[in-house]
Every structure is written in C-alpha cells, then in structure tokens.
Structure 1
Amino acid sequence: MSLVQAILIAIIAGVSRCEGDWLGECKLREPIVTGFLVGLVLGDVKTGLIIGAELQLMWMGAVGIGPVAQLDIGIGGTIGTAVAITTGTGAETAILFGVPVAVIMQFLNTLLMSAYSGVMLSADKKIDALDFRGIRWCHYFCGICTFLAYTIPTFIVMFFGNELIEGIVNNMPDWINTGLGGVAALLPCLGFALLLNIIMEKRLIPYFILGFIPAAYVGFDLTMVAIAAIAVAVAWIIFMLRSNEGTAKVAANTAADDEWED
C-alpha cells in the first residue's frame, strides 16, 4: 500500500467518526459507504462494494440505545475492507480484522468522551463569560482530537502494518479460514435478527413475509412453502383489517349511545 493510499484510508476512517458530530447524520459511517470509498482509493470499487455490503448486513442491527456506546462500525468497516482488498481475500478476513477494531475503537471513544468532560467545564465557564470565540475553540478542539485519534492509528496500521497483516492472513490454518467463512455466512442473519428485534411488531410480520418471499426466490421457482407463506400473510392482513373494522364499529356505536344519552 502506498503512502497516499494509507493517508486517504486514514482520512476515510476519521471522517466516518465525524458523522453525528460535525457532519450530522449523513451515513458516512455505514460499511457500504466506507467500502465504496476504500475500494475507490485502492482501485477495486467492485470488491469494496461487495465486502462493504456484506459487513453492512452484519452490522445493520448494531444500534446504540440510550447512553450505551455502539460498535464503531465506521473504522471497523474501513480497516476490514482495506485489509480484505489488499490481501485479495473476502468478507471473512474483513470480519477477522474489522470486528476487533470496531470493539477497540468503541472503548477508545468512551475514553475520549470521558476526557472531554474537562473541556466541557471550560466551555461552561466561557458560556458564563459570553466568550463565544472560546466556546467555538472548545468545539473545534474536541473534534480535531477525535479526528486525529482515528486517522493516526489507521494510518499506522495501513502503512506500517501491511506486511504483518499479510503474514497473519497467509499463515492462518485452513480450519480458521473455514470457521471464519461460516461466521461470515451467519453474521448477516444475526444483523437482521438484531434489527427485527428493535423494529418488528406483530402487525408488520405479514408484510415482512410478503417482502421476504420475492427476495428469497428471485431467479427460482416458487415452492409450496413459499406459496403457503404468501397465503398466510394475505390471510393475516385480511384478519387484521376486519378486526380493525370491528373495533371501529364498536367505537362508533359507543359514541352514538353516549350522544343519545346526552
């Protein structure tokens, strides 16, 4: 990997962390976006998109709830995709390097947020003194420190650790590669399960079935299982609609009786 490529990948990692802070919610941290950008830098956009999409399926349910720190999928996807492309391997290698990096950077981000509490005390004093320039510098200081905390380690890993990474990948036993391949196949299912655990409601299940069947059988003939699933989903929707109509009629009759009594 050249010096320029390592610098650009480090910048991608740093910018992915700036999302939610300076850049707002623009989805730059998503693996499919960082995968495209890394592929563009390394001259293999197709592979970058494929690996990014596979990592996206794995991490699509990784959502931070409340004050709980979430996995840092931005830098995890960036480094994972870069390693997979430079070593000529697939998603299993991206997972091997991307997941530990995402966990480690999650803890680093927690430490940074704790360290910034001192800066916030200084910002409070500047607010009381109406020192708007000082307040802006507190904001810029925290943002620049966070950006450097992500870009510098990424650059070191990508530029100076490239040979070490290739040695690790090339010398891994076959049973590890086989296991990682199995993990790469199962983790997207886990990502979907985590996402459904957050958003799924009973009234959405039939629509999920109707959307899943075409996606699962594109290019294949429908089996009896698929046809039965579609029938169950349609029957479920009809049942819900009729149940809602009955509830609406009861509510209307109750309202009419109340008006008559008045």
Structure 2
Amino acid sequence: MSLVQAILIGCVCALTQLEGDWLGECKLREPVITGFLVGLIMGDVAKGLFIGGSLQLMWMGATNIGPTANLDIGSGGTIGAAVALMTGSDLEVAVAFALPVAVIMQMLNIMKMTAFSALMHSADAAIDQGNEKKLIGIHFLCGFFTFLIYFSFTFIVLYVGSGVIDAIVAGIPEWAQNGLSAVAVALPAMGFALLLNILWDVKLIPYFIIGFALAAYLGVDMVGVCAISVAIALIIYEIKVNQLKSAPVVEKVEDEWEDD
C-alpha cells in the first residue's frame, strides 16, 4: 500500500468517528459506504463495494441497546475492506480482520470517551460563565483528538504494519480459510435475523412471503425485489392517503357553560 493510499484510508476511518458529532448523521460509518471509498482509493471499486455490502448485511442487525456496547463498524468495515483489497484476498479475510478490529476499536472508543469526561467540568464551568468560545473550543478539541487517534491507528496498521498483515494472511491455514468462508456466508443471514428480531411484526408476514417467493421461485434478484418493494410501498401509501381524504371530518363541538 502506498503512502497516499494509507493516508486517505486513515482519513476515511477517522471521519467515520466524527459522524454524529461534526458531520451529523450522514451514514458515513456504514460499511457499504466505507467499502466504496476504500475501493475508490485502492483502485477496485467493484470489489470494495462487494466487501462493504457483505459486511453491511452482517452488521445491519447490530444495535446498541441500554448498556450493551455496540461494535465500531466504521473502523471495522474500513480496515477489513482495506486489508482484503491490499492482500488481494476475498471476503473471508475481510471478515477475519473486520470483526476483531470492530471490537477493539469500540473498547478504544470507550476509553476515549472516559478520558474526555474529564473536560466536562470545564464545559460546565464555561456554560455557567456564558463563555461560548471556550465551550466551542472544547468541542473542537475533542473532535480533533478523535480524528488524530483513529487516523494514526489506521495509518500505522495499514502502512507500517502491511508486512505483518501480509504474513498473517499468508499464514492462515486452509482449514481456517474454509471456516472463515462459511462464517462469511452465515453472518449476513444472522444480521438479517437480528434485524427481524427487532422489527418483526405479524403484519409484515405477507410482505416477507412475497419477497421470499420472488427470490426463491421466480429468480428475481435483489434489485428487482427492492424495486417491487418500493412499488408496493407507494401503492399502500396512496391507499392510505386516499382513505384519509375520504374520511368524514368530525368537527369538535365545544361545550357551552352558562351561569345559572
């Protein structure tokens, strides 16, 4: 990997950590986006999109509920796709690196947030004093250090440690590669199962059956199923709108109170 590529991928990984803070909810952390960007940087957009999309399916059901720590899919997806493209490997290598990186970087994020909590006293004091400039400075200082931490980690792993990564990938035995290939196939299904566990409702059963029948028996690909789903959603929307328009308007009659 060249120096420029390592710098650009480091920036992508760091920017995924600023989503929700500086960048708002722009979905930059999603693996399908980072996979595209890494593929663009590495010169193989198609493979980057394939790896990112597969990791997206794997993690789409992951959610942060209560005190349960979520996975850092931004860092995991970025580094996993970069390692697979850098070594010329397939999805199983991306999964092998993406999963542990996502766990490790989430632990790093917890330590980072714990360290930043020390600045909360200064932020509270700035609010009490009405010192807006100091408060803005603390906000941007935290963002700057967040960017620096994740950029440095990604750059060191991909550029300085590229030889180690090549040795690790080359040293994976065949039985482990076969196991990782099976995991790479099974994890997207698990991601869908986790998502359905959160969103499932009895009213959704007919739509699930329609999608399954289209894919399993009629050979419609995912793009076709999505197009049909959008059409069904628009039809239902129009029906609901027409029902609301045709519904009788009930006027609210206010009670009149009279003094005796």
| TM-score normalised by L of structure 2 | 0.82
Give the match for residue 239 of structure 1: none
User: Which residue number in structure 2 is paired with residue 80 of structure 1?
Assistant: 80
1:70 aligned to 2:70? yes
Q: Aligned ranges for residues 21-170 of structure 1 at < 5 Å?
A: 21-170=21-170
Residue type at the aligned position of 1:33: I
| Number of the residue aligned with 1:233 | none
Q: CA deviation at 1:67?
A: 4.4
Deviation of 1:212 (Å): 2.5
| Displacement of 1:218 | 5.0
Task: Determine the C-alpha separation between the residues in 1 that align with 2:24 and 2:214.
Answer: 35
**Structure 1 residue 103, shift from structure 2 partner:** 0.2
Distance of 1:4 and 1:188 partners within structure 2: 32
Q: Which residue of 2 aligns with 1:4?
A: 4
Identity %: 57
Within 5 A, what are the aligned runs for 1:7-18? Answer: 7-18=7-18
Deviation by residue 1:182-230 (Cα, 9 ceiling, x = unmatched): 000100011001101111111212212212321334537xxxxxxxxxx
TM-fit CA distance, 1:37: 0.1
Instruction: Report how many aligned residue pairs link the two structures.
Output: 220
What is the aligned partner in structure 2 of residue 216 from structure 1? 216
CA distance in 2: counterparts of 1:201 and 1:176, whole angstroms: 38
The residue identity in structure 1 corresponding to 2:78 is: T
**Cα distance in structure 2, aligned partners of 1:211 and 1:219:** 11
Give a deviation string over 1:6-57, Cα, whole Å, max 9, x none. Answer: 0000000001111111111111001000000000000000100011111011
Q: Can you list the C-alpha shifts for 1:124-179, whole angstroms capped at 9, x where unaligned?
A: 00110111000000100111111111110000001011111111111211000000
2:256 maps to: none
Mapped partners of 2:218, 2:36: distance in 1: 25
- TM-score (normalizing by structure 1): 0.82
Unpaired runs of 5+ residues, structure 1, are: 221-262
In the aligned structure 1, how far is the partner of 2:180 from the partner of 2:87?
15
Deviates most, 50-59 or 205-214: 205-214
